[in-house]
Amino acid sequence: MIPLAEAQARIQRDIHPLPVVSVPIAEARGLVLAESVVAKEAIPPFANTAMDGFALRAADSAGASPETPISLPVVATIAAGSVASRPLIGGEVMRIMTGAPIPEGADSVIMVELTRPTSGHDDSTSSDVSSIELLAEVASGNHIRPAGDDVRAGVTVLSPGEVVTAAHLGVLASLGYESVLVHKRPRVGVFSTGDELISGPTPLQPGQIRDSNRPTLLALVEESGCIPVDLGWLPDNEEEIEAALVAAVGPDADNVCDALVTSGGVSMGDFDFVKKVLSRLGDLNWMQVAIKPAKPLAFGLLMGTPIFGLPGNPVSSMVSFELFARPSLLAMMGKRDTQRLTVLALAEEGFLRPPDGKIHFVRVVVDQEPDGSWLARSAGGQGSHQLTAMARANGLAVVPDGDGIRPGGMVKVLLLG
């Protein structure tokens, strides 16, 4: 057996970010920027009002209060998207809506709540109000958002290595970008192997089970931000496995994959052909990793493409994906931070275990208390075939080798999702 960190390091050596491509911004979310984004123009592009109200010269409001209101004529209305037809002069106001450009000659905005219509109206925003009373003094610059207040033209706003989020898309759109340079989103093929597997509602024949790994692994691939490619099922047959692996990554592949994830066929059984094929064709690293579940792992490069040969037991394949495939796929996307968040949780019940040289990953439910602390309890049966506990779990408790963790002890938990 080799330590988990060593297995992860061996894989990491063979994993590199995918090439840089230009993608429409609508497809860029979750990808990693590969260019600096320099603002060609200022945001906002012109000084505008942060409030609905009236543009004025601040000096004209001197001394205004509810007891000593100052009455001024309303000479124009400026909506967002329009501009005043003439400059503002002293002793008048222009009605102005949030986002509209400040008219030349005005240096301030008074919000509508601090004004009142001079006569005949209850609402000074009404467009037929011809004059208003100021009920407060305002300072020069009041409620004005200057041009370039968010971004000055010429500055670098986004940098390579940043993961494109919803807010990044907004920044790119404000600057007029339609596409952006990012690391390619990996296409990841998923195979299941095993003569015992069928899919769908067909009644099970003796010895058969339904393929649960493929939908799960395809979903994990998608959750990682990659494009899942369903490559179906393969029997425990060396020739068929070889042909399918080569077809998925070879130069003649229709839809070439950037990585493959297989499940089953990597243990010590007589029919574990994924391991055999990879060791013959590829640059295989077959590992017995000192973890439970998910001890066997076959990792190799086939014609330069990483292949993750995960164990077949449903929980094992998920834990193996979590510890080996997911960080690698994120690194292929160019991400620097490939690790799950971890929290230190109080063990509500014991996570006891015998020493066996392995780190145990226990499926747990963690809850955060109002004071911010975390509590962990088992999500159910911990067998590597017991997928329902995995379905309930929102974390994997990391129980180091030894006697385990007593009730009330602290345990590190990887947060899933």
How far apart are the two ends of the chain, measured CA to CA in Å? 29
Residue whose structure tokens are 């907004």:
170
Any contact of residue 197 with ligand AMP (CB under 6 A)?
A: yes
Contact window for Mg ion (CB under 5 A) among 10-18, 74-82, 258-266, 352-360 = 258-266
Query: Rounded to an integer, what distance in angstroms lies between the CA atom of residue 296 and that of residue 312?
Result: 10
Beta strands in 39-186 (DSSP E): 48-49, 53-56, 70-78, 93-96, 108-111, 115-117, 131-134, 144-145, 156-158, 179-183
Query: Rounded to an integer, what distance in angstroms lies between the CA atom of residue 238 and that of residue 242?
Result: 6
List binders of ligand AMP among 38-97 (CB under 6 A): none
311 binds, among ligand AMP, Mg ion, none (CB under 5 to 8 A by kind): ligand AMP
**Among 148, 225, 228, 264, which residue interacts with ligand AMP (rule: CB under 6 A)?**
264
Any contact of residue 194 with Mg ion (CB under 5 A)?
A: yes
- DSSP, collapsed to helix, strand or coil, labels residue 376 as strand
Comparing CA positions, the residue from 130, 60, 145 lying closest to residue 98 is 145
Contact indicator for 143, 49 with CB cutoff of 8 Å: yes
Any contact of residue 186 with Mg ion (CB under 5 A)?
A: no
Q: How far from 288 is each of 161, 255, 266, 328, CA to CA, in Å? A: 34, 32, 10, 18
Closer residue to Mg ion, CB minimum distance, 157 or 241: 241
225 binds, among Mg ion, ligand AMP, none (CB under 5 to 8 A by kind): none
CB of 202 to Mg ion, least distance (A): 19
Closer residue to Mg ion, CB minimum distance, 273 or 351: 273
Query: Rounded to an integer, what distance in angstroms lies between the CA atom of residue 224 and that of residue 217?
Result: 10
Query: Rounded to an integer, what distance in angstroms lies between the CA atom of residue 280 and that of residue 265?
Result: 15
Contact window for Mg ion (CB under 5 A) among 63-71, 191-199, 208-216, 301-309 = 191-199
Contact window for Mg ion (CB under 5 A) among 58-66, 192-200, 277-285, 338-346 = 192-200
**Among 61, 213, 320, 328, which residue interacts with ligand AMP (rule: CB under 6 A)?**
213
Comparing CA positions, the residue from 79, 88, 87, 84 lying closest to residue 125 is 79
Closer residue to Mg ion, CB minimum distance, 148 or 264: 264
Any contact of residue 264 with Mg ion (CB under 5 A)?
A: yes
Any contact of residue 269 with ligand AMP (CB under 6 A)?
A: yes
List binders of Mg ion among 273-302 (CB under 5 A): none
CB of 308 to ligand AMP, least distance (A): 13
224 binds, among ligand AMP, Mg ion, none (CB under 5 to 8 A by kind): none
Residue whose structure tokens are 């579940």:
293
Any contact of residue 404 with Mg ion (CB under 5 A)?
A: no
Show the binding pattern over residues 122-161: x = contacts ligand AMP (CB under 6 A), - = does not.
Answer: ----------------------------------------
- DSSP, collapsed to helix, strand or coil, labels residue 76 as strand
DSSP 8-state class, residue 204: P
DSSP 8-state class, residue 105: T
Query: Rounded to an integer, what distance in angstroms lies between the CA atom of residue 195 and that of residue 229?
Result: 21
196 binds, among Mg ion, ligand AMP, none (CB under 5 to 8 A by kind): ligand AMP
Any contact of residue 194 with ligand AMP (CB under 6 A)?
A: yes
Closer residue to ligand AMP, CB minimum distance, 206 or 251: 206
Residue numbers at the binding site for Mg ion (CB under 5 A): 194, 264-265, 312
Residue numbers at the binding site for ligand AMP (CB under 6 A): 192, 194, 196-197, 209, 211-214, 263-267, 269, 311-314
